[in-house]
Structure 1
């Protein structure tokens, strides 16, 4: 039985002219070859299946052709071209960076670069999926990529250019491949169908092109699968069946049910779709694309963006004129949200049905009103919103004299209300101010609130808090005197001694005090240990001193002398301890030499 070769390999382009959809790149490469202006490193980047590796192989074949054609193409007749077509060329080396991404693989490649080609002019190194190389491999490749020998040309191919280091990008001539358009894909598939004697419908090829999303390799693979499924006859219906794509007639029927607000019909139609084996996410995604095409079809300028099979444009245009743009835009929002949350839903069918219910009542939800020639959504609230107020007791402080303030206390009682009285509404006009009313005490009728009497701030506070709290006037701080400070200091030390904290008590006795300013004094001690002992008592000590001097800003600093720390000898190392012992006892060193001991210091 003859070995079957898939169309993606069988019809792989062998010359620049046969490359589909990359005219801007093939023309540049041919001109560079004709003018002998080849760069030493190329970077081909773009989506999958658009011809990056194919163009790299054609370039490698063309630059080594012995009989280069005037248009910059290879002759396909010389020994170099034949060896390339047979896969036996020694001047072309391909490296799959996805599986050979270590430093050792790149070093092996760099070692091969040192040897000149035995036949031909150039040695071409094609590194596919170069973004998979490790960072260390990239660094090992930099120098060779920047200054290769005159006979070496590197062609790097990747689908993710953003993952490459800037140092790699700056050393390469970059070519960006674009997705292949649907029209180019359909034309190429038609040519292959003629060569393979396959009966195809153009509508079926357009569906295949849409499904491939600009990837020629995927389009050819899909065609091979459908040909095997249909035994050589590719139609629109069996293509939809094989690709698990819902027919657009279902979407038109569903739209008719939604616009007529026929919820039962829409639910039954979705049930029929579900019974055919179509998952909910396919329905949501397909219907969203259908609504998008309707939105595009409403504007004649955007007709080029209408991505539908041939013969369906007129039906889309006619249907789009009957649907409002607001309905289509809101439908897209609902479908997009439903598709995003589809994976998280436990009941998938109910999730899709809820989206259909929202779409069914969408026209009722969008209640439109005309105002000043414009279109806007209907307001949901026309009147004031009721709110509840609480009692407010306001305090007013007026300046009377230097250092003195008097408090005006005024109670304002506002009853809790849930609506505005009709009489008050009548008094409020559009440009009318509300006259101040007399405020009455709660529960008392016919008596107005007495005018506030002038009193001191302290009396006002006492009257406000009552007798539950004791209000004291703030006392002026006492000056920081050395005698009083030393007495308090020694008293605190005696307190520590009574608590059997002997080390801390002795530290307080030997410490020296110095007043720096009215809010701070300094403590001089000898060691860091004494400093830590005082720090442990800082909070309690400050509290007592601040209470004594009536000064909450009072604080202190601690300074420890470093003389004692400098006087301490540094600890000896193991070697120094042994040498010191050997000086005191020479027999120890003699024993080490006679026994040839190797001491581990």
Structure 2
């Protein structure tokens, strides 16, 4: 059941949408933009449900024939358009929107089209949609859900009401998972890598891959400290298996050293991300100086910077690992 009360965060956005309904200033076209998993589709669907509600309020009544049809997934005048392909083509836009919108609503006030991953539309598809957006019928409403609205043509953007959804706040995410099946010792770690997205956290919870990478990172840190140069090159080779996810791997490594530094400075504290590994963090921290921890954090940041600049992948990781391994107080800086 789609209701505004169930939506996590985005109170300002919801209030603005409700005010447009109240004052009869609903636009014919919208872009709802933001990172994946923060509620864009839920807001679009709830807005659509409210607009079609026969009670004509600023929230769906959940009882009228329109609300019941919507909740059943069989509303005759609300259409959800999505694709699993790499792009959304012109034929899909022409068949599902451009031609269909010429027919008046079957029963309710509007014909509403919600296009998921709309920023995947080809230029040809956007041009086809533009013709409809420029001269929409009075009953037509199009909602484009995207993660990067800058992929749209400027003419599309200028004719749509742009709604930017910000990442959720940590407190909002914690409230959402308060009663859910989640390891609450892990929630801060999930939040740190979620970008403020509940959807991303759900994927991490369901993914053994996330836990696998973290366990490898923890092992690598211990092996860097205790191993020799041969071990460093072995670690570098293992890290190459995660080339497509290297930013995430390095972020996890950074978080681990950060937690050790925090523990050394103020002991066990609520700002620790890897709460479920607190004993291991305490033991690891005993062997690492502040100087070495600082060098390690800097080395990881340097590696990320070099990789963003398309530096040699293998060399960037080797230099990072060597700098982390260094025991000297002075840090030799290398460049490509």
Q: Which residue of structure 1 lines up, in the alignment, with residue 215 of structure 2?
A: 246
Partner of 1:594: none
The answer on whether the counterparts of 1:67 and 1:78 sit within 8 Å (CA) in structure 2 is yes
- Distance in 1 of aligned mates of 2:258 and 2:228: 22
- Distance in 1 between the 2:170 and 2:238 partners? 25
- The 8 Å contact of residues 97 and 127 in structure 1, kept in 2 or not, is answered as no
Deviation at 1:17, TM superposition (A): 1.8
Match of 2:92 in 1: 105
The 1:363–1:126 alpha-carbon spacing in structure 2 relative to 1, beyond 3 Å, is same
Counterpart of 1:52 in structure 2 is: 40
> Can you give the 5+ residue segments of structure 2 that lack an aligned partner in the other structure?
none
Distance 1:116 1:296, change over 3 A: farther
Q: Note if 1:24 corresponds to 2:2.
A: no
**CA displacement, residues 254-290 of structure 1 (integer Å, 9 cap, x when unaligned):** 89x5xxxxxxx3549x78x96xx97476775533333
Deviations 1:551-570 (A, max 9, x none): xxxxxxxxxxxxxxxxxxxx
CA 1:336 to 1:342, structure 2 compared with 1: closer, same or farther past 3 Å? farther
Matched, 1:80 2:66: yes
TM-score scaled by length of structure 2: 0.73
For the Cα contact (< 8 Å) 1:267–1:356, is it kept in 2? no
Deviations, residues 476-526 of structure 1 (Å, cap 9, x unaligned): xxxxxxxxxxxxxxxxxxxxxxxxxxxxxxxxxxxxxxxxxxxxxxxxxxx
The alpha-carbon distance between structure 1 residues 190 and 247, as it changes in their structure 2 partners (threshold 3 A), is farther
Corresponding residue number in structure 2 for 1:219:
201
Instruction: Quickly say closer, same or farther: Cα 1:171–1:97, change in 2 above 3 A.
Output: farther
Q: Could you say what secondary structure the match of 1:185 adopts? A: helix
Residue 61 of structure 1: how far off its partner (Å): 0.6
Where in structure 2 are the equivalents of 1:372-411 lying within 5 Å?
none
Alignment partner of 1:155 is 2:143 = yes
Select the residue among 143, 162, 175 that pairs with 1:187: 175
For 1:359, the equivalent position in structure 2 comes to 324
- Residues 50, 59 of structure 2: 8 Å contact kept: yes
Q: How does 1:123-522 map to 2 (within 5 A)?
A: 123-193=111-181, 200-224=182-206, 242-246=211-215, 265-267=226-228, 279=239, 285-292=251-258, 308-309=273-274, 323-324=290-291, 330-338=295-303, 340=307, 344-345=313-314, 355-366=320-331
For residues 324 and 217 of structure 2, the distance between their equivalents in structure 1, rounded to whole angstroms, comes to 18
C-alpha displacement of 1:359: 3.1
Report the structure, 1 or 2, having the larger helix content: 2
Which secondary structure state, in structure 2, belongs to the residue aligned with residue 126 of structure 1?
Answer: strand
Asked if 1:95 is matched to 2:77, the reply is no
Computing the radius of gyration over CA atoms, which structure comes out larger, 1 or 2? 1
Q: Report Cα offsets for 1:394-421 as digits up to 9, x if no partner.
A: xxxxxxxxxxxxxxxxxxxxxxxxxxxx
- Structure-1-length-normalised TM-score: 0.44
Secondary structure of the structure 2 residue equivalent to 1:156 = strand
CA RMSD, 1 decimal: 4.2
CA distance in 2, matches of 1:138, 1:17: 33
Residue 155 of structure 1 aligns to a residue whose secondary structure is: strand
Number of aligned residues:
309
Structure with more relative contact order (C-alpha pairs < 8 Å, separation 6 or more): 2
Q: Which structure: greater strand fraction?
A: 1
Which deviations, in whole Å up to 9, do the C-alpha atoms of 1:439-479 show, x marking residues without a partner? xxxxxxxxxxxxxxxxxxxxxxxxxxxxxxxxxxxxxxxxx
**How many angstroms apart in 1 are the aligned matches of 2:206 and 2:296?**
37
Q: Equivalents in 1 of 2:221, 2:92: separation in Å?
A: 57
1:203 alignment partner, SS class: coil
Contact kept, 8 Å, 2:31 with 2:149, in 1: the verdict is no
Work out the CA distance in 1 between the residues paired with 2:216 and 2:326. 25
2: CA distance, partners of 1:331 / 1:50: 33
Pair 201,97 (structure 1): closer, same or farther in 2 beyond 3 Å: closer
Contact in 2 for aligned 1:17/1:26 (Cα 8 Å): no
Q: Secondary structure at the match of 2:255?
A: helix
